[in-house]
Amino acid sequence: MTIRTITDHQVAALPIHDGRAELLEEIMKTPVDQVDHIDHSSRARASRPRTRTWTAIAAAAAVAATVGGLATWNAPHEEQTRTSYGDGPQQHGAPYVVHDNHYSKQLTSAVRSVPGGAYFALGASGWSLANVDESATGLGLTYVRGDEELELDLYAADEYQTYVQDREDLGAGTSLSMLGQDATRWAYSADDHTLIRTPQGDRFLEVRGTGMDESAYLKLVNQIVQTDARGFADSLPTDVVTPYNRERAVRHLLRGVDTPPGFTSADVRLQGFNDAYQSAAKVAGSVGCAWVEVWAGGTRADHRAAVEAFESSRSWPLLVAIADEGGYSSGFWDVGAELRTGLDDRGDPVKVSDLRSAICS
């Protein structure tokens, strides 16, 4: 396997399809207390059979069958079509919600304005959210409408001059005001425009629009709303994991996942706002990276347990669910093969740093 480092925003640009979100809802519908739990004690490792339990096999088969039928599968009509993973009636909506017969990420135009807030959202109707991905280094989200696309990216304030200098390769920019602060706009082409707003707090905003002329782009920019975390959460489709539903969502995404001893939802590197694909990849990556550490520094029994965990990962529901959406799942499974042999695809001893760069979120 050739290890390639992929940035968060590159992963975020992978296509998002309605079927996958519906499938993840099915995965997450089973209550946490009905999930098989795995004993990771030394005694259990010594006696644990190589085959999975009937329940796990049946669950994996059901997931595989569903993946194969994504093109035609529709969520069944249920008397209650919305499942909340928050605690209490005031919590923000649920990740991976089943609607009556159609999963929709189309937005309404209502976004609560909070001047000076740390987030920005599009307040125009008729657009859909393609992806959202937040990490310690920033946030990226993409809205789409037909062939038009609008990207909003928040970057660290100390990178502002670097980004401006890069855009100045396009020529002198045009100055304008956006939400009470100075900004500069450039054109890549007649239907591809971007602007960078001066930093506010520890981040700055870039807005890029493609598939539209300058007039349409500027009209859309004027419909971007500055808001706070709660207002941003309320503007997003209900399959997005937010700070308000994170704990419940992570526990559900960990269903059927073989975790190292002592691993909990607090060990998952998932913060801020993340769409279905990003959430599944980051939860799986946190677990996989923990197993790599066990493999690298543990006893022979720990080494064997890590290899077995990666072998079982081919039936982890969250990885199966996103296997057809880009390369994360296949890359994760390739790491399992390297752990088993101790060799990379060139036949050289595998480096733990390469394993981390391949799957750690």
pLDDT tens, 32-81?
443 333 333 333 333 333 222 222 323 333 333 323 322 222 222 222 22
Dist. CA 57–CA 60, nearest whole Å: 5
Dist. CA 235–CA 108, nearest whole Å: 8
From 153-167, 199-213, 284-298, the region with the lowest mean pLDDT:
284-298
The alpha carbon of residue 220 and the mean position of all alpha carbons in its chain are separated, in whole angstroms, by 26
Beta strands 192-197; 203-210: pairing state? antiparallel
* C-alpha separations of 77 from 23, 47, 93, 98, 233 in Å: 14, 43, 19, 9, 26
Q: Residues of CATH 3.40.1000 domain(s) within the chain?
A: 119-235
| Model pTM score | 0.71
CATH architecture of 119-235: 3-Layer(aba) Sandwich (3.40)
From 85-94, 229-238, 241-250, 313-322, the region with the lowest mean pLDDT:
85-94
Q: Please state the rounded mean pLDDT for residues 178-204.
A: 97
Dist. CA 174–CA 40, nearest whole Å: 61
Q: Please state the rounded mean pLDDT for residues 147-173.
A: 96
Q: How many CB atoms lie within 10 A of CB 15?
A: 11
Dist. CA 241–CA 94, nearest whole Å: 8
Q: Residue 326 — pLDDT band, cuts 50, 70, 90?
A: confident
3-state DSSP assignment of residue 260: coil
Q: What angle do helix axes 352-359 and 328-341 make, rounded to 10 degrees? A: 160
- Closest listed residue to residue 92, CA positions, set 229, 226, 224: 229
Flag whether pLDDT at 86 surpasses 50: no
The alpha carbon of residue 237 and the mean position of all alpha carbons in its chain are separated, in whole angstroms, by 13
The values of phi and psi at residue 264, to 5°, are -130, 180
Eight-state DSSP code of residue 51: S
Q: Residue 361 — pLDDT band, cuts 50, 70, 90?
A: low
Length of the chain equals 361
Eight-state DSSP code of residue 313: G
Flag whether pLDDT at 2 surpasses 50: no
**pLDDT score, position 106:** 67
**pLDDT score, position 346:** 87
What are the start-end ranges of the E strands in 5-157?
119-122, 128-135, 138-145, 148-156
Flag whether pLDDT at 193 surpasses 50: yes
Token pair listed for 146: 């037909």
Dist. CA 205–CA 17, nearest whole Å: 27
Q: Please state the rounded mean pLDDT for residues 342-354.
A: 87
Flag whether pLDDT at 92 surpasses 50: no
Q: pLDDT, tens digit, for every residue of 6-44? A: 444 444 444 343 444 444 445 444 444 433 333 333 333
Dist. CA 320–CA 245, nearest whole Å: 23
Dist. CA 332–CA 128, nearest whole Å: 30
Q: Please state the rounded mean pLDDT for residues 249-274.
A: 94
* C-alpha separations of 53 from 20, 29, 56, 66, 291 in Å: 26, 20, 5, 20, 21
Flag whether pLDDT at 97 surpasses 60: no
Burial class (CB in 10 A: 0-12, 13-18, 19+), 210: middle
How high does pLDDT run on average in the chain? Answer: 76
3-state DSSP assignment of residue 301: helix
3-state DSSP assignment of residue 200: strand
